Amino acid sequence: MATESLTLGKALNAGLRRALDRDPKVVIMGEDVGKLGGVFRITDGLQKDFGEDRVIDTPLAESGIIGTAVGLALRGYRPVCEIQFDGFVYPAYDQIVSQVAKMHYRSRGMVRLPIVIRIPFGGGIGAVEHHSESPEAYFAHTPGLKVVTCSNPSDGYTMIQQAIASDDPIVFLEPKRRYWEKGEVDAEAEAYPLHSARVARPGTDVTVVAYGPMVRTALDAATAAAEDGRELEVIDLRSLSPLDLGPVHESVRRTGRCVVVHEAPSNVGLGAEIAARVTEECFYSLESPVLRVTGFDTPYPAARVEEEYLPDLDRVLDAVDRTYGW
Amino acid sequence: MARDDDTLVQLLTPDGERVDRAVGPDGVEYSVDLTDAEYRGFYRDLVTVRRLDAEATALQRQGELGIWASLLGQEAAQVGSGRALRPQDMVFPTYREHGVLYCRGIDPIMPLSLFRGVDQGAWDPIETRCGMYTIVIGAQTLHATGYAMGIAMDGKVGGDDGEAAIAYFGDGATSQGDVNEAFIWSAVYTAPVVFFCQNNQYAISEPIERQTRVPLYQRAAGFGFPGVRVDGNDVLASYAVTRHALDHARSGQGPTLIEAYTYRMGAHTTSDDPSRYRPPAEAEAWRSRDPIARLAAFLGRQQIADETFFAEVDEQARTEAVRLRERVLTMPDPAPDSIFDNVYPHGSPLVDGERERFNAYRKSFEGSAH
C-alpha cells in the first residue's frame, strides 16, 4: 500500500494488522474483537487472519482485560487491549493506574509493560450514557502512563503502530466520531516521534490548541475565521501525556493569543494544564489570558442535547473574539 | 459459616500423627512420601521463616520498619505450597508471603526493604520467577491468570517442561471483583494457574463471615474447576495438595482453587490491634494446631530428628535473623533524585525536566549553613 484514501477506522485496522504481522508477540484482546471485529469494526478480519490466540475475544470484564494483559506482558507479550467505550474503562481503572502505570517504577526498571489500551472516546454519535465520555485527564494525571490521541487517518495508522512498538504503557484514545472520516494514508511515510505535536494549520493571529475529535472542529473554525480575515494557527497535540508544548509556546510567542479546545469538562482538565504552562512560559508574549472552550462540568448529556454540550465552530470563534477583548 | 472439617485435607494431625492418605472433596487422594532429610528440611524452613518474621516484627516495634505484615501461624501453608513449586513456575504473591519468597530463594532483605521504605519491593520478577508484593487486594490473581494464558500460548503445558503460575491471596480478596474475574478467565481459557487462598479467618478486623456464606473452596465449582480445602497448618498436606494442583495445571487441565484453612496468630499488620476484634479463646484454640509443634512432635516420635537437630535449627535461624537485622540497620536510603528514576523506560520530558529543576534547587543549598 502506497498512498491511499482511508477512513480513520480502516487506517487503524491497517496499522493493527501491520503490527500483528511484524511481531508475533503482539496480541489483541477485548470484548467482541474477534468474529465481530469490534463494535466499530476496528479489528475487522484480524482474528480470521491471525487466529484466536492473537486476537482474543475476552469475557465481559474490563479489569480482567487489563489485569490479564499485565500477566501476558510479564510473559513477554505485547497486549493491545480494546476497551469498548470510554465510559466502560472505569472498572479497569485500578488495574491501569495502580498496576500498569507503576510496575516499571516499583521494580526499578526490571519490569516493562508494553501494553496499549485502546479506547474509542468522545461524543457526537448520538449514543446513550457511558458511550461518549472523555476520560483523558484521569490517565494523563497518572505518572507511568502515556496518553495519546489521533485526529486523522494518517496519524491513526502511524501512531497505533508506534504505540504498540513502545515499551511504555499507553492509553490510546480514538476519536470515535471521526472513525468514518477519510484522509490520505501513506504507508511509506517517514515516522515522527510519537510524542510530538504538529501544526495542523499555520496562522499568525491566534493559537488554537486541540486534540483528537476537536482538531477537525478547530480547523473548521480556522477556515471560517479566515473569511473574516483572522488567521488561526491550529495545533494538534497528538500526545496528552507527556505534552509536547514546544510548538504551542513557539506559536503563542508569535500570535500572543491562545485558545484551548477539548470535549472533556473544563474543571481540572487538560485545558487547565495547558493554560498554566503556556502562561508560565509565554507570559510576556500574551495579549490576553489563555481561554478554554470545553464540554461543561456536567455528566455527558442525553444525545438530543449533546450538540449543546460539545464545543463547536461557533464556540471556538467566540473564544477567539474574546481574546481580542483585553 | 460451617467449619466443614470433614473436607479438610490433612496428612498430619495437630498431635503430630501421620495420616497415610487423605481424600479431598473432589475424590482425589493426597499423600506424601518424603525422605527423612526432606521432613527435616520442612521443619528447618518453618522455624526459619517464623524466626525471620519475628525479627521483622521486632524491628518494626523498634522503629526500623514502617510497618510489617506478619505471617505468624501461616508458615505451613506458605512453606508447604512454596516447596511444591518447580523452578519454572511463576509466583504472584500478596504482601504476606515472606515464607513463599524464602522457599523461592529470594533474599529475605527484599520484602524488608519495602516495609522499611527504601524501595517498593523491587526484586526481579522475571529472574526470580516471583512477582513483587501486591498490596491492592487480589489484583495479582489476574496477573497470574494472564501469565498462565501466556504459558499456554507458548505451548508450555502438557510436557515435562510444563509450567504453571500460582497466585496467593487471602480470604478477604475473594470478595474482590478481580479474583472472581480471574476465576472466570482461567476457567474459560483453561489457564495453568493455581489459586492459593490462605483463609486466615480475618481481613484486618472482619471475620470470614463478612466475606462469604459458603466455604471458600466450594466457590470453585461455580466457575467450573476443582476446589479443595487443606489444613493450612499442616505443611505436608499443603505441600501435597499444591503439588497436585500444579501438576494438574501444567498438564493442561486448568486451574484449581486451594483454600488453606489457617489462622493469623498476630495482627493483620503491626498497625492494628487484634484484641479489639478477636476473642482471646479463639487464638488459644488455634495455638494447639501450631504448624511447627505438630511437625516437631512427628519428627521426634518417628526419630527422624533429635534434640541436637532441633537446637541446631534454632541456632541457625537465630544466626540468620541476626544477620538480617544487621543488614536492615545498614540499608542505605536511596539517592534523593532516585524519585525520578524508572517512571518510564525511556524517560519523559516532563519527569526529566522536574529532575533537573529538583537537582538545581538542592544544589542551591550547597555551602550554606543548612
Residue B2 is predicted with a pLDDT of 43
Residues 206-265 of A with CB under 8 A from B: 241-244
Same domain? A264 vs A158: no
Nine-digit cell at B326?
544487621
- Partners of B119 on chain A (C-beta within 8 Å) are 108
Q: Name residue, grid cell 503460575.
A: B165
Dump pLDDT digits (tens) for A148-202: 999 999 999 999 999 999 999 999 999 999 999 999 999 988 889 999 999 999 9
Distances (CA, A) of A114 to A34, A69, A73, B292, B344: 22, 10, 7, 44, 11
Average pLDDT over residues A269-280: 98
- Beta carbon pairs, A and B, within 8 Å: 142
Residue B369 is predicted with a pLDDT of 67
Dump pLDDT digits (tens) for A69-78: 999 999 999 9
Residues 349-368 of B with CB under 8 A from A: 349-351
Nine-digit cell at A273?
494544564
Same domain? A82 vs A131: yes
DSSP class of residue B218?
Answer: G
Distance from C-alpha of A153 to C-alpha of B52, rounded to nearest angstrom: 59
Phi, psi of A63 (to 5 degrees): -60, -40
Q: How far is CA A11 from the centre of its chain?
A: 15
Dump pLDDT digits (tens) for A203-215: 999 999 999 999 9
Nine-digit cell at B98?
515472606
Does the residue A206 lie in any domain? Answer: yes
Same domain? A19 vs A68: yes
Does the residue A191 lie in any domain? Answer: no
Helices assigned H by DSSP within chain A: 8-22, 46-50, 62-74, 93-94, 103-106, 136-140, 153-165, 214-227, 246-255, 270-282, 306-309, 313-323
Residues 22-41 of B with CB under 8 A from A: none
Residue A77: exposure state from Cβ atoms within 10 A (0-12, 13-18, ≥19): buried
Dump pLDDT digits (tens) for A19-73: 999 999 999 999 999 999 999 999 999 999 999 999 999 999 999 999 999 999 9
Contact between B58 and B70 (Cβ < 8 Å) = no
Q: What is the CATH number of the domain that holds A229?
A: 3.40.50.920
- Is B185 near chain A, with CB under 8 Å? yes
Which one of A74, A110, A144 has the shortest CB-CB distance to B147? Answer: A74
Residues 330-349 of B with CB under 8 A from A: 341-346, 348-349
Contact between B217 and B228 (Cβ < 8 Å) = yes
Domain boundary among A185, A216, A245: A185
Does the residue A77 lie in any domain? Answer: yes
Flag if A95 and B142 touch (Cβ within 8 Å).
yes
Same domain? A202 vs A177: no
What ipTM does this complex have? 0.96
Does the residue A120 lie in any domain? Answer: yes
Same domain? A232 vs A166: no
Q: For every residue of B151-162, which 3-state class applies, written as one string?
A: HHHCCCCCCCCC
Flag if A107 and B344 touch (Cβ within 8 Å).
no
Residues 119-138 of B with CB under 8 A from A: 119-122, 124-127, 131-132, 134, 136
β-strands A182-186, A3-7: how paired?
A: antiparallel
Same domain? A175 vs A242: no
CA-based nearest residue in chain A for residue B344 = A144
pTM score of the predicted model = 0.96
Same domain? A133 vs A172: yes
Same domain? A174 vs A271: no
Domain boundary among A159, A185, A211: A185
Nine-digit cell at A263?
470535549
Identify the residue among A108, A141, A240 best suited for mutation to test binding to B, counting B beta carbons within 10 A and taking the highest: A108
- Partners of A63 on chain B (C-beta within 8 Å) are 142, 177-178, 181
Which one of B149, B150, B343 has the shortest CB-CB distance to A143? Answer: B343
DSSP class of residue B342?
Answer: T
- Is A67 near chain B, with CB under 8 Å? yes
Residue B7 is predicted with a pLDDT of 82
- Partners of A242 on chain B (C-beta within 8 Å) are 348-350
Does the residue A190 lie in any domain? Answer: no
CA-based nearest residue in chain A for residue B340 = A105
The SS3 of residue A189 is coil
Q: Compute the 3-state secondary structure of chain B and give helix, strand, coil in percent, each to the nearest 5.
A: 50, 10, 40
Residue B370 is predicted with a pLDDT of 58
Contact between A174 and A8 (Cβ < 8 Å) = yes
Q: Residue B305: which of B11, B75, B13, B16 has the closest Cα?
A: B16
Residue B159 is predicted with a pLDDT of 83
Same domain? A166 vs A287: no
Contact between B168 and B199 (Cβ < 8 Å) = no
Q: How far is CA B82 from the centre of its chain?
A: 8
Does the residue A193 lie in any domain? Answer: no
- Is B88 near chain A, with CB under 8 Å? no
Same domain? A129 vs A24: yes
Bridge partners, B259 (sequence order): B197, B229
- Partners of A141 on chain B (C-beta within 8 Å) are none
Flag if A104 and B342 touch (Cβ within 8 Å).
yes
β-strands A258-265, A291-295: how paired?
A: parallel
- Distance (Å) from the alpha carbon of A103 to chain B's nearest alpha carbon: 9
Domain boundary among A185, A212, A232: A185
**Residues of B identified as active-site:** 264, 268, 277
- Is A142 near chain B, with CB under 8 Å? no
- Distance (Å) from the alpha carbon of B365 to chain A's nearest alpha carbon: 25
Q: Name residue, grid cell 501435597.
A: B240
Does the residue A192 lie in any domain? Answer: no
Q: How far is CA B121 from the centre of its chain?
A: 14
Distance from C-alpha of A101 to C-alpha of A96, rounded to nearest angstrom: 6
- Partners of B92 on chain A (C-beta within 8 Å) are 71
In total, how many domains does chain A have? Answer: 2
Which residues, including other chains, have CB under 8 Å from residue A158's CB and lie 6 or more apart?
A15, A189, A191, A192
Same domain? A211 vs A141: no
Does the residue A65 lie in any domain? Answer: yes
Flag if A61 and B147 touch (Cβ within 8 Å).
no
Domains of chain B: 5-329 (3.40.50.970), 340-370 (no CATH)
Q: How far is CA A122 from the centre of its chain?
A: 10
Distance from C-alpha of A320 to C-alpha of A105, rounded to nearest angstrom: 42
Q: What is the CATH number of the domain that holds A49?
A: 3.40.50.970
Which residues, including other chains, have CB under 8 Å from residue A134's CB and lie 6 or more apart?
A86, A121, A122, A123, A262, A263, A264, A265, A295
Number of CB atoms found within 10 A of residue B203's CB: 19
Dump pLDDT digits (tens) for A116-142: 999 999 999 999 999 999 999 999 999
- Distance (Å) from the alpha carbon of B273 to chain A's nearest alpha carbon: 28
Q: Which amino acid is at B295?
A: L
Same domain? A294 vs A316: yes
* Residue pLDDT tens, chain B, 370 long: 445 556 899 999 999 999 999 999 888 999 999 999 999 999 999 999 999 999 999 999 999 999 999 999 999 999 999 999 999 999 999 999 999 999 999 999 999 999 999 998 899 999 999 999 999 999 999 999 999 999 999 999 998 789 999 999 999 999 999 999 999 999 999 999 999 999 999 999 999 999 999 999 999 999 999 999 999 999 999 999 999 999 999 999 999 999 999 999 999 999 999 999 999 999 999 999 999 999 999 999 999 999 999 999 999 999 999 999 999 999 999 999 999 999 999 999 999 999 999 999 999 998 876 5
Residue B194: exposure state from Cβ atoms within 10 A (0-12, 13-18, ≥19): buried
Which residues, including other chains, have CB under 8 Å from residue B20's CB and lie 6 or more apart?
B31
Which structural domain, as residue segments, surrounds residue A217?
198-323
Q: Residue A196: which of A248, A161, A256 has the closest Cα?
A: A248
**Residues of A identified as active-site:** 131
